[in-house]
Amino acid sequence: MSATTANPLLDFSDLPRFEAIQPEHVTPAIDALLEQNRAVVAQLEAPVAEVSWENFVEPLENATEMLGRAWGVVGHLNAVVDTPELRAAYNENQPKVTEFWTALAQNLALFEKYKALQASAGFARLSPARQKIIENAVRDFRLGGAELAEDKKPRFAEIQEKHAVISTRFSENVLDATNDYALFVDSEADLAGLPDDVKQAARTAAEKDGKAGYKFSLHFPSYFPLLQYADNRALRETIYRANATKASELGAKPEWDNTQNIVDLLKLRAEEAALLEYGNFAEVSLVPKMAESPQHVIGFLEDLAQRARPFAEKDLAELRSFARDELGLAQLEAWDMAYASEKLREKRYAFSEQEVKEYFPEPKVIEGLFRVVQSLFAVDIKPDSAAVWHKDVKFFRIERDGELLGQFYLDLYARNGKRGGAWMDDARGRRRLADRIQTPVAYLTCNFSEPVTVDGRERPALFTHDEVITLFHEFGHGLHHMLTEVDDLSVSGIAGVEWDAVELPSQFMENFCWEWEVLQHMTAHMDTGAPLPRALYDKMVAAKNFQSGLQMLRQVEFSLFDMHLHYDYDPNGGKSVQDMLTELRQRVAVIIPPAFNRFQHSFGHIFAGGYSAGYYSYKWAEVLSADAYSMFEEASEATGNILSSEAGLKFSQEVLAMGGSRPALESFMAFRGREPNIDALLRHNGMSA
């Protein structure tokens, strides 16, 4: 074995060697790659007679791809199997990696070469994808501070490093506060109303800790059923408070309080914007996005808020009167919302989420998801083998006509040491190498309940319908990454796609979870194996837009909070973030959370996840995805088949295959034949006139 491959993080011959990677491999691998990258950069800085794709962009991409892949593996492991040793290695190396990327983004010699390439006679002969990469690079150098005066560059670099460190700390505080919390309940009588499988999972969790009774945590599959089903109001309040105050000054430990981290991040972002001569950080964030300006986004969101508000007010009035008359809750508190909503839904539509969940065992859901993808996009999905980071992780390959298109890891269950939420990330991107195509590989990560053992027999995991939707959502991102046909790394798959368009394929895929011809093939009752009954399906569809006004207004509230924080809030002024949020809620929301609620202290999307001044993207892309899906609805009306392979192929060719090689609006219009229209979104949410 060569010295290089002795360290598994430096082996790029194929898939990551997860079985061999140890925390002690991180520092030597990252140091070696940084040294190698710096040497390549130094060579590329030297003057050349004529700059070309081959003598400049390609060698730079080759070097930085290896660093990106190795650090990507480390970041992935840090998110899914966090240990003290791994965290220490990650935190030790993160500043060095950030420093390298910041210096690269400010490198004037490289910037001049990209500009020279853009101005050269050869530029017109390059493929559209390569032209787009060069245009993006010129834009990103400007955003990376390359044009700053030399005396300002060190501070700009310092801002990037501090920002990376504080975002990581923000994330770790949320994870530590989540992992640390435990609520033990001794008596089963206190758990009245809870479904059996939730109680079973809580009992198993207590047994793992060597305790009697039942253990609940702040991982979503554990705490949310308490809010949704527990008749014991005090229990609901306890878990609600714990979740709503985690990682805040009201939480368990002062060292996990994110209050100052939020302020520091906002100050750093405002300073970065000022250095780049923008009015605010929101303007910086929007440069590479579809939306034109912060005012454009705020106008879009306020229009949605206005349309949703009457529906939200009606939803809330109904819930309050139901809670008062049927549940004896004169005052509806925050910890009653999910409980009363579930009871109202059960009464109105005569079914519970729990009843639905019994029809969604994991194997059947996965089979149904694959069937949809195979039918729409003319591909085959097959089990595959690879080294994995946890025994529960599965691995698959996607082929078309026997040719490998991409592969993906599926990590479905919540566990300690794993960051909450659901996401898709890339292990490597598609690119053309000298002798072959490097195929894309994706990580698909969720946090669902794991299988439980009952009377010595393991039962497969059961998913709620919401979890099924989440799985389809992440798979949509995965398809965007894996079904690309672009051969240049920086715009293949999701790379180079505008952030506010990146949710288009994911939200598009969610729609199939509501189609009868899809659900009848992806459901089987856990005891009888019978598919979802049509009568229950009809109730689910009738209930689909249950409280959709409240839900839309909530997402608009989060999006406006994010946009205003980065647009017209002054982190150096006298008003706290909490004050600003309270004022915004008074203007926009119909439900005002309790004064102790510290939702923002775990809002990882905008403080640790790249969505700063970009959370609106979910709603923005939902307009695109609902409108794109309406083509399938039209095909279904004509043919009776929602899984239209003709529309699917067109979506694959014009949206998925194109990656970031052209503006997202062009891809959308090539697919839909016109500009996007908000009507389908309002119709899907039961809000059309």
Residues classed as catalytic: 474
Cα distance between residue 81 and residue 389, in whole Å:
8
First to last CA, the chain: 68
Cα distance between residue 172 and residue 159, in whole Å:
20
Residue 513 phi, psi (nearest 5): -70, -5
Residue 238's alpha-carbon distances to 227, 235, 266, in angstroms, are 10, 5, 31
User: Within a 10 A sphere around the Cβ of 681, how many other Cβ atoms?
Assistant: 24
Query: And the tokens for 528?
Result: 């009888």
Token pair 């390959």: residue: 397
Cα distance between residue 558 and residue 432, in whole Å:
40
Cα distance between residue 494 and residue 659, in whole Å:
6
Token pair 């307009």: residue: 623
Cα distance between residue 534 and residue 517, in whole Å:
11
Residue 245 contacts by C-beta under 8 Å, 6 or more apart in sequence? 251, 596, 597, 598, 601
* Cβ pair 23, 389 in contact under 8 A: no
**DSSP annotation of 532:** P
- Greatest C-alpha distance within the chain: 82
Please, where are the H alpha helices in 328-464? 337-349, 353-357, 362-377
CA dihedral 645, 647, 653, 656 (to 10 degrees): -100
Query: And the tokens for 321?
Result: 């009167």
Query: And the tokens for 553?
Result: 């207004």
Query: And the tokens for 265?
Result: 């991040």
* Cβ pair 483, 656 in contact under 8 A: yes
Give CA angle at 537 (534, 543), nearest 5°.
Answer: 145
Q: Are strands 441-448 and 403-413 parallel, antiparallel or unpaired?
A: parallel
SS3 sequence, 302-330? HHHHHHHHHHHHHHHHHHHHHHHHHHCCC
Cα distance between residue 16 and residue 75, in whole Å:
13
* Cβ pair 240, 335 in contact under 8 A: yes
**DSSP annotation of 483:** S
User: Within a 10 A sphere around the Cβ of 529, how many other Cβ atoms?
Assistant: 10
Please, where are the H alpha helices in 568-678? 577-588, 604-608, 617-639, 645-651, 664-672
Token pair 């490597």: residue: 428
Cα distance between residue 408 and residue 394, in whole Å:
8
Residue 534, Cβ density class (10 Å: 0-12 exposed, 13-18 middle, ≥19 buried): exposed
Q: What is the DSSP string of 207-235?
A: HHTT-SSEEE-SSHHHHHHHHHH-S-HHH
In three-state secondary structure terms, 411 is strand
Quote the radius of gyration of the chain (alpha carbons, Å).
Answer: 25
Query: And the tokens for 386?
Result: 């690879």
Residue 518 contacts by C-beta under 8 Å, 6 or more apart in sequence? 368, 371, 372, 512, 642, 643
